[in-house]
Amino acid sequence: MEFFRNPNIDFLGKRHLFKYVSFALMAIGILGVAILGIPFGIDFTGGTEIALRFSKPLDISQVRAVVAQTEFARSEIKTYGAPNQFLIRVQQTKGAGEIAAKLKEAFQKQFPDLTVTVLKADVIGPKVGKELRTDALIALILAVLAILLYVSLRFEFAFALGAVLALVHDIIIAFTWAVIAGQLGIISMEVNQSTIAAVLTVLGFSINDTVVIFDRIRENREIHRGLPLVELMNMSINQTLSRTVNTSLTTFLVLLVLTLFGGAVLQGFAFIMLLGIVVGTYSSIYVASALTIWYIERRKGKKKVVAATAT
């Protein structure tokens, strides 16, 4: 089987056009998040969260009514992955298990024929939440910097810059768009420590994809000396196209299955990665490569200007 035979697509010819696409995607994402807000899980905010499962689906208003009669009246309630599962975010911060037991009892009393199961009960101190958030952010930034360093060593700075900016681009888009999908109720999504793991996976996919193309460029540069950079890159992207499509396709399939069948816990997590693989593939070409060209040309231009003024 073969999808492509010696493809010769001028990917980079339209790179200026895709600049706008990238900016638009990022802008929509950031704007959306700014308007809708980030649904931080209690990992990062601190607080108390109880997840309950009922043997039959309940209406969220029924759940609200029961909770309103308890001492936890000021709780936030939302569905959790399935219509018979609810997440109740309680104000009280002492004794997760006890709160869960009280809530369970309240429901049992109201609906005697329902079985109520406590899925989880978490209490996280506000300080811990803040710390976890800081830790995660530091780890993420350091990881990006380390990649910048390694790619600069293995290739050259222009490539590393392109690769890392593509990374940042992918992380922003995957994260913000997933958050938007979550806020619009398309998937169940909450930003917690697992989300960070998902974002990190996006980082892994993205860099992998870019490095493969760059590796080909490095190789072709030795073989076809003197070929203009844009052509060199186009050639390399075309040569690796089969691989890019196949890898992305297989990974996409894996993540699609996880998003669809992974359940409440896995869904948000898989969805970020799903977005990541799509954007990651696109950005290897239109962000990483395009930015590298831009940077090298700009530097050349400057040199020319410097040379001109010198004479």
Partner 1 sequence: MRKVGFGTYVVIIFPIIAAIWLLYPTYRAWELEKEKEQLAQDSAALAQFEKEYGETLRELKLRRLKLGLDLRGGMYITLEVDVLRLLEESAQRDAIDEVFQEVMRKTRQEAERSDEPVLDIFLRYFDQIARPKGRTLFSYFEFGDVRDLTEEDIIDRLEQNIEDAVDQAMEIIRQRIDKYGVSEPSIQKQGGRRIVLELPGVTNEKEVRQLLQTTARLQFHLLRQNVEIVQAFAQVDELLRQEQAAREPADTSSIEKTVTAQNPIDTTGQQGDTAKADTTVQSDTTNPYAGLSDEEAREAYRRDHPFTSLFVTYYIDRENNRYVPIDYVRKNFPEGEYYFEILESNIPQFEAILQRPDVMRIIGTDYMIALAAKPRAETEGSPQRVYPFYVLKAEPELTGEVIVDARATFDPTTNSPIVLMTMNADGAERWARITGANVGKRIAIVLDGRVYSAPVVQTRITGGRSQITGLSSIQEARLLEIVLKAGALKAPVKIIEERVVGPSLGEDSIRRGLTASLIALALVVLFMVVYYSFAGIIADLTLFLNLLLILAMLAAFGGTLTLPGIAGLILTIGMAVDANILIYERAREELYKGRTIRAAIDEGFRKALSAILDSNITTFISGLILFYFGSGPIQGFAVTLMIGIVMTLFTVLVVGRSIFQILLARGVQTINLGQPKVAAAK
Residue numbers 55-74 binding partner 1 by CB under 8 A: none
Give the nearest distance from C-beta 251 to partner 1 in angstroms: 4
233 is an interface residue for partner 1 by CB under 8 A: no
156 phi/psi in degrees, rounded to 5: -145, 170
Based on the shown chain and the rule CB under 8 A, indicate whether residue 158 belongs to the binding site for partner 1: no
Alpha carbons within 13 angstroms on the beta-carbon side of residue 201 total 19
Q: Determine which helix (DSSP H) or strand (DSSP E) holds 146, and give its type and residue range.
A: helix 126-154
Residue from 21, 34, 68, 138 that binds partner 1 (CB under 8 A)? 138
- Residues of span 201-230 touching partner 1 by CB under 8 A: 201, 203-205, 207-208, 211-212, 214-216, 218-219
Q: Please, what is the minimum distance in Å from the beta carbon of residue 139 to partner 1?
A: 4
At 18, list the tokens.
């895709």
By CB under 8 A, tell whether 87 contacts partner 1.
Answer: no
For the segment 37-56, give every residue that binds partner 1 (CB under 8 A): 51, 53
Query: What is each CA distance from 208 to 108, 134, 201, 238, 286, in whole angstroms?
Result: 51, 26, 10, 17, 15
Cβ–Cβ < 8 Å for 178, 275: yes
- Per CB under 8 A, contacts with partner 1 among 116-135 are 117-125, 127-128, 130-132, 135
> Could you give the CA distance from residue 63 to residue 147 in angstroms, rounded to a whole number?
48
88 binds partner 1 (CB under 8 A): no
Q: Which of 183, 159, 125, 186 lies closest to 299, judged by CA?
A: 159
Residue 32 near partner 1 by CB under 8 A: no
Q: Which two tokens stand for residue 169?
A: 């681009």
- Does the protein bind partner 1 through residue 78 (CB under 8 A)? no
Using the rule CB under 8 A, which residue among 188, 240, 283, 284 binds partner 1?
240
- Label residue 297 left, alpha or beta by phi (over 0 means left) and psi (-120 to 50 means alpha): alpha
**Segment near partner 1 (CB under 8 A), from 18-26, 139-147, 182-190, 302-310?**
139-147
Exactly one of 108, 152, 220, 242 binds partner 1 (CB under 8 A); which one?
242
Q: What is the DSSP letter of 284?
A: I
Give me the amino acid identity at 167.
L
Query: Between residue 8 and residue 27, which ones bind partner 1 under the rule CB under 8 A?
Result: none
Q: From the list 234, 239, 283, 289, which residue makes contact with partner 1 (rule: CB under 8 A)? A: 239
Number of residues that bind partner 1 (CB under 8 A): 79
Give the whole-angstrom CA distance, residue 158 versus residue 148. 10
Cβ burial 122-143 (10 Å sphere, 16+ → b, else e): bbbeeeebeebbeebeeeeeee
Over the window 248 to 267, marking each residue x when it contacts partner 1 by CB under 8 A and - when it does not, the resulting string is: -xxx-xxx-xx-xxxxxxx-
Tell me how far, at minimum, the Cβ of 10 lies from partner 1, in Å. Answer: 21
Q: Nearest approach, Cβ of 296 to partner 1 (angstroms)?
A: 20
Q: Does 236 bind partner 1 (CB under 8 A)?
A: no
Minimum distance from residue 51 beta carbon to partner 1 (Å): 7
Question: Which 3 state secondary structure label does DSSP give 120?
Answer: strand
273-292 positions binding partner 1, by CB under 8 A: 273
